[in-house]
Structure 1
Amino acid sequence: MTSSASLADWSHVYSGKVRDLYVPAGRSGLDDTDAVLVVASDRVSAFDHVLEPGIPGKGELLTTLSLWWFDQLTEVPNHLIPDHVLDGEKAIERIPAEVVGRAMLVKPLDMFPVECVVRGYLTGSGWLEYQQTQSVCGVPLPSGLTDGDRLPEPIYTPAWKAPLGEHDENISFERTVELVGAEVAEELRRLSLLIYTGASEIAEKRGVIIADTKFEFGADRDTGEITLADEVLTSDSSRYWDAVAYASGTTPRERMASFDKQIVRDWLSANWDKTGTPPELPADIVERTAARYRELLERLTRA
């Protein structure tokens, strides 16, 4: 995994597949801080592996998209905190210059061990499971659906957040209740469906479909309020499709023209048996993926 950068006045405390976390220098860790610097790298992951090379500019693109979505989702509290402080009349940037554009300043939360997945369309692991059980994560679905079909209504299909290096595990809603309690489980489901529905309406006006996505939430350490955290509705956490291609396509591949890392997944599936170290991504796959990430950001954020 690519090593994290050394940042003045900040201490590195954690690296995930894509993001690095820092706390102010002098703090011992995430349990001893009132601010966390979340830095998105250009690393790209697929099938639980970090791949080489990264996607140039990806960290900034995803951070910009997350910040834009946080601005749209005003009905749900999120973990962002001001990234400037005032010194008299002068605004002082709290985010180090080396990572400006690809970093967010957030408050620490007590994170719930659940990935809150919402699916509006049947594809990916949901499609594989549906072919076997006519359901996804215990949610029964109508018979006769095909890969890429829009579901009658969005469904909530949570997953257990596995430790780094292990596979996340799809779980039932009942298992979520066991993990976080009935009241929190219900609220996670309600908020996830609320955000997905609102975001889908925004995206569809811009010719983009959000096929599925995942959210993460934590409890505010002072108030206990359930708060939206991590990245939100990025190309890494969501499947985005072109609405025109979806309406006119005659095959699943034509219908599901994606703005996410599906290009990477498809290439890996064709060139790797998922054992050992993944092969290096070819330059054209890297370039095409970066172009799709940029196009999605432009489509969604343009006036």
Structure 2
Amino acid sequence: MSSEPVILLLIPHDLQTYALAVGDILLTRFGLRHVLIRSTQTPADRLLLLPEHQPSLFVVLGPSTSSTSILETESTAPIITLSSANDVATTALAIAKCCSLASAVLRETVQQVTLENRQARLVQDAQLRTSSPFYANAMATCYDQHLQITGDSLQSTMRGKVRDRFELPDKQLLALVTTDRQSGFDRMLAKVPFKGAVLNLTSAFWFEQTRSIIPNHLVSVPHPYISVCRKCKPFPIEFVVRSYMTGSTSTSIWSNYQNGVRNYCGHELADGMVKNQKLPTNLLTPTTKEEEHDRPISMKEIVDEQWMTAEDLEVCAEAALKVFALGQKIASEHGLILVDTKYEFGRDEETGEILLIDEVHTPDSSRYWLASTYQQKVALGQEPDNIDKEFLRLWFRENCDPYNDEVLPEAPRDLVLELARRYITLYEMITWKDFPLMELLGGESSLKEAMDSLLQESQS
């Protein structure tokens, strides 16, 4: 007789479809092949002498009957009663949990499914919350009343695609304003409500979480869009850390692997790998920061080409891998997979200390997948689920030539608002904090007030 558990589902006649669905999940998700179905009206003595198998577990779906009552006293196998009001997945999981008491392998599967269910609930909760009228009205108000933060009211020292830099009276400090500008194709595509605050506050969250691993440049966050930071001289290397075989840019690990590269940034890659599979270990895959184009580079080449000293490189490389590992742990607890990201480091201009700078694990600098469906998607050869932000770029590709047209069309309102919602959703999932919507409807005037106050404080 097979050592696998034999499960006997006892059902009223009207639950046949439900029971078949439960049996299908027990087979496909938990590998439980021996699932029998009988009516709760079947005489108890017949159930106790089934010719096919001796049941390991009786499961009553729905109300008890005289037969099931007899089983409770006569059968040597345990009997449980489950409500048919539960969805089929919940019922299947409850049955698998009972069977897992005698199987370590099944117990691991049950633990994985339980984790995925929890992760899925986290995603659903975040999606529901940011789709509520409260969030929708705040985003619409910001958009319709042109309250997005562009930084146009301030005189910046240096203006980037998204971040603007401001000098402060304290020569060792600077202020960084992360705006709502959405860039793409080296152009500004839209002004996305609250995007700058999402990026700035997400970085602030991670800077605090990782401070015990390596010090960083963040001094304070006097306004959701403003960070006061130590002045640093950045190293000319981006420290990209990857945990999965994926990516679409020319420097990505998957693009290189597809083109036959098997030594990537000094790491030997085995043949036969497929897109989106997990790498055997987290890999540090640096790129240079050059005017014409970035290029992947190995640790040895960084030192040989004198981009950094071996000592500085070791400090940054070790910190990057440790920060990434912590990021993965926290992301997993929050229903996400931190797939890959980039870090920048710099030397404090006053103390000479190496600091983590720029941004950390933001939706713009990092790739996140939804953890609950990753295994299923990869098994089917599909792209992992994510809270996608690329749809706005795709709209421009479909409606104009974003690289060559002198004037770009205005992005549709509903697309911009949906992009804002997705940024906020990611913020709340990453940080487990409520996004401070109502504090952010002051527009440029509130930003200017905060910057003026900051300048006055710095002078005193």
Asked if 1:114 is matched to 2:237, the reply is yes
Change in CA separation of 1:238 and 1:266 when aligned onto 2, cut-off 3 Å? farther
Q: Which moved more, 1:285-294 or 1:35-44?
A: 285-294
Asked if 1:168 is matched to 2:257, the reply is no
Where is the helix percentage greater, Structure 1 or Structure 2?
A: 2
Cα distance in 1, alignment partners of residues 181 and 296 from structure 2:
24
Q: Which amino acid aligns with 1:50?
A: R
Q: Which moved more, 1:148-157 or 1:174-183?
A: 174-183
Structure 1 residue 54 displacement after superposition: 2.6
Residues 176-209 of structure 1: per-residue CA shift (max 9 Å, x gap): 2220111111222111111101110111011101
Equivalence for 1:78: 216
Equivalence for 2:194: 57
Contact kept in structure 2, 1:19 and 1:40, CA below 8 Å: yes
Cα distance in 2, alignment partners of residues 53 and 167 from structure 1:
25
- 1:14-163 aligned at under 5 Å gives the runs 14-24=158-168, 33-47=171-185, 49-75=186-212, 76-82=214-220, 95=222, 100-124=223-247, 125-132=252-259, 133-163=261-291
Structure 1 residue 268 displacement after superposition: 5.5
Unaligned runs of 5+ in 2: 1-148, 434-460
Equivalence for 1:187: 315
Q: Which amino acid aligns with 1:110?
A: K
Q: Which amino acid aligns with 1:123?
A: T
Cα distance in 2, alignment partners of residues 46 and 150 from structure 1:
29
Residues 62-94 of structure 1: per-residue CA shift (max 9 Å, x gap): 1111111111112210111145xxxxxxxxxxx
Contact kept in structure 2, 1:235 and 1:259, CA below 8 Å: no
Cα distance in 1, alignment partners of residues 234 and 281 from structure 2:
28
Q: Which moved more, 1:221-230 or 1:104-113?
A: 221-230
Change in CA separation of 1:239 and 1:246 when aligned onto 2, cut-off 3 Å? same
Change in CA separation of 1:289 and 1:3 when aligned onto 2, cut-off 3 Å? closer
The two structures have a TM-score, normalised by structure 2, of 0.55
Structure 1 residue 231 displacement after superposition: 1.1
Contact kept in structure 2, 1:79 and 1:108, CA below 8 Å: yes
Residues 124-144 of structure 1: per-residue CA shift (max 9 Å, x gap): 122111111134334221222
Give SS of 1:12's match: coil
- 1:268-287 aligned at under 5 Å gives the runs 275-277=403-405, 279-280=408-409, 281-287=411-417
Cα distance in 2, alignment partners of residues 56 and 66 from structure 1:
18
Residues 15-45 of structure 1: per-residue CA shift (max 9 Å, x gap): 11110000126x8xxxxx2111000011223
Change in CA separation of 1:174 and 1:50 when aligned onto 2, cut-off 3 Å? farther
Q: Which amino acid aligns with 1:109?
A: C
Query: What CA RMSD, in Å, does the superposition of the two structures yield over aligned residues?
Result: 2.5
Cα distance in 2, alignment partners of residues 173 and 268 from structure 1:
38
Structure 1 residue 172 displacement after superposition: 2.4
Pair member with larger Rg: 2
Structure 1 residue 162 displacement after superposition: 2.9
Cα distance in 2, alignment partners of residues 190 and 264 from structure 1:
36
Q: 1:295 aligns with which of 416, 421, 425?
A: 425
Contact kept in structure 2, 1:20 and 1:38, CA below 8 Å: yes
The two structures have a TM-score, normalised by structure 1, of 0.81
Change in CA separation of 1:235 and 1:204 when aligned onto 2, cut-off 3 Å? same
Tell me which of the two structures has the higher relative contact order, counting C-alpha pairs closer than 8 angstroms and 6 or more residues apart: 1
Cα distance in 1, alignment partners of residues 363 and 429 from structure 2:
13
Contact kept in structure 2, 1:238 and 1:260, CA below 8 Å: no
Structure 1 residue 217 displacement after superposition: 0.5
Cα distance in 2, alignment partners of residues 279 and 251 from structure 1:
36
Equivalence for 1:258: 386
Q: Which amino acid aligns with 2:256?
A: E
Contact kept in structure 2, 1:217 and 1:226, CA below 8 Å: yes
Structure 1 residue 287 displacement after superposition: 2.9
